[in-house]
């Protein structure tokens, strides 16, 4: 019975994924590429990936880390530098004040993998000292390292590599990625969803493996986990490195989506936004992080945008002005936290069985009355 149910679930999941791909392709063929919907979908998919990577640390391993923005910074710059055509590097259009030290270029996929690996290497080095700390001390240490990384990338001495504090732009984009065995460019939104979905799928497989069970054991009780033979530092380091790898991938996707990179963007406020997404969705819930990512981006970037307009005056008083959107958004967050203290999903996951329950209850009620 379990095997049959497993096959049905896999079939249903495959059908849902195929339907989503078809919908995205149809949207990209029929709607303008500048549509706000595409912006929300791409940014939502990118933030879903980085939120899930943070949830792997905070929700499943019990490590309170605040360094995701720093690892996204590494991924974004690595991708931008490696995919920028050599002709642009040699010209003055980007490296206006420096001579670029990277004299070669890579394709989008290899550059994205290198971006994740470089973020993972930095995480492995940072993890050696900081992962021996706990709770708030670990959060402060990782936050400090993220700020140090941002300062280093803006340092003039790093100019030949990172262009210093200047904006990097005009590098390779999604139009260079072709669908396998064809010359058709990959639809940008579909590509973001495929990369984010694949990475999140790998994280889900990891959580459901023996390593994931070890992560959860460390989260629940470190002393008991160590007594069971789990190497605490090894598994913490593994979780930290894997989380940083996917944060680097999300940083590369963000650079690809924005067409520009600047270190000033990756401040602590970005880490707090990612942490907020994780908390709203539910610490320990992958589907919760994905749902809250799209809700956060939709509210912050679209639904509440009109609140920043200062054109409406009542009795000579300006009611709506720049920044008011943040005030209303903060109130909404407070209400959500009050009514959903464990987040939208808590530590549960969205499943087909859970979606069927309301309809099953209605059918039982009809049968009982009938």
Strands 260-261 and 317-318: unpaired
Q: What is the pLDDT of residues 279-290, one digit of tens each?
A: 888 888 899 999
Per-residue pLDDT reduced to its tens digit, 322-331: 666 777 777 8
For the segment 225-273, what is each residue's pLDDT rounded down to a tens digit?
Answer: 999 889 999 999 999 999 999 999 999 999 988 888 888 889 888 988 8
- Please compute the mean of the pLDDT values over residues 28-32 and round it to a whole number: 82
Question: For residue 76, what pLDDT band results from cuts at 50, 70 and 90?
Answer: very high
- 333, with CB counted inside 10 A (0-12, 13-18, 19+), is middle
Q: Once rounded to an integer, what is the mean pLDDT over residues 77-91?
A: 87
- Token pair of 39, please? 């912006």
Q: Classify the C-alpha dihedral 200-201-206-209 as positive or negative.
A: positive
Q: Which two tokens stand for residue 264?
A: 């000033």
The runs of H, that is alpha helices, within the chain are 2-30, 36-58, 68-83, 86-90, 108-130, 135-154, 159-162, 188-207, 210-220, 222-227, 232-258, 268-281, 286-298, 324-339, 352-369
Residue 364 has pLDDT above 70, yes or no: no
Instruction: Look at residue 169 and tell me whether its pLDDT is greater than 80.
Output: no
| Res 309: pLDDT | 62
* Residue 127 contacts residue 195 (beta carbons within 8 Å): no
**Percent of the chain whose predicted confidence (pLDDT) is above 90:** 32
Token output for 295 = 């809700």
pLDDT, mean of residues 7-26: 78
Structural domain boundaries in the chain: 36-267
Q: Quick one: what percent of the chain has pLDDT higher than 70? A: 82
**3-class secondary structure for 107-169?**
CHHHHHHHHHHHHHHHHHHHHHHHCCCCHHHHHHHHHHHHHHHHHHHHCHHHHHHHCCCCCEE
Query: In the prediction, which pLDDT does 157 show?
Result: 85
pLDDT number for residue 267: 87
Asked whether residue 315 carries a pLDDT value surpassing 50, the answer given is no
Q: For residue 292, what are its two tokens?
A: 């809250």
For the chain, the average pLDDT equals: 83
The CA distances from residue 114 to 75, 78, 193, 300, in Å, are 8, 7, 20, 31
| Torsion over CA: 294, 299, 300, 306 (sign) | positive
Average pLDDT over residues 40-63: 92
Residue 254 is predicted with a pLDDT of 92
Q: φ and ψ at 336, to 5 degrees? A: -60, -45
Indicate the helix (H) or strand (E) that contains 314.
strand 313-314
For the ranges 9-23, 42-56, 94-108, which has the lowest average pLDDT?
9-23
Euclidean distance between CA atoms 174 and 172, whole angstroms: 7
């Amino acid at each position: 019975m379990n095997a049959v149910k497993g096959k049905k679930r896999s079939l249903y999941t495959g059908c849902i994924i195929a339907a989503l791909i078809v919908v995205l392709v149809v949207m990209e063929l029929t709607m303008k590429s500048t549509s706000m919907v595409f912006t929300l979908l791409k940014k939502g998919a990118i933030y879903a990936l980085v939120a899930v990577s943070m949830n792997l640390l905070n929700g499943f391993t019990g490590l309170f880390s605040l360094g995701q923005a720093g690892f996204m910074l590494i991924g974004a710059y690595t991708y931008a530098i490696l995919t920028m055509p050599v002709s642009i590097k040699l010209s003055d259009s980007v490296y206006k004040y420096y001579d670029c030290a990277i004299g070669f270029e890579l394709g989008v996929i290899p550059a994205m993998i290198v971006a994740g690996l470089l973020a993972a290497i930095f995480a492995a080095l940072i993890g050696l000292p900081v992962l021996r700390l706990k709770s708030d001390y670990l959060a402060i240490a990782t936050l400090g390292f993220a700020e140090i990384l941002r300062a280093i990338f803006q340092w003039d001495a790093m100019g030949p590599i990172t262009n210093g504090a200047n904006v990097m732009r005009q590098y390779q984009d999604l139009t260079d990625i072709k669908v396998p065995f064809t010359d058709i460019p990959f639809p940008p939104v579909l590509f973001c969803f495929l990369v984010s979905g694949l990475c999140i799928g790998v994280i889900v497989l990891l959580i459901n493996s023996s390593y994931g069970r070890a992560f959860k054991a460390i989260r629940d009780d470190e002393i008991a986990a160590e007594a069971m033979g789990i190497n605490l530092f090894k598994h913490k380091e593994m979780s930290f490195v894997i989380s940083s790898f996917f944060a680097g991938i999300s940083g590369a996707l963000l650079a690809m989506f924005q067409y520009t990179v600047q270190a000033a963007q990756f401040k602590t406020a970005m880490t707090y936004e990612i942490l907020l997404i994780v908390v709203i969705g539910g610490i320990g819930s992958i589907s919760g992080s994905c749902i809250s990512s799209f809700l956060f981006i939709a509210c912050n970037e679209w639904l509440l945008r009109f609140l920043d307009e200062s054109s409406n005056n009542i009795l000579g008083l300006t009611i709506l002005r720049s920044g008011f959107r943040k005030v209303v958004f903060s109130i909404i967050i407070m209400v959500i936290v009050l009514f959903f203290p464990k987040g939208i999903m808590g530590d549960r996951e969205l499943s087909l069985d859970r979606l069927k329950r309301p309809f099953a209850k209605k059918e039982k009620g009809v049968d009982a009355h009938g």
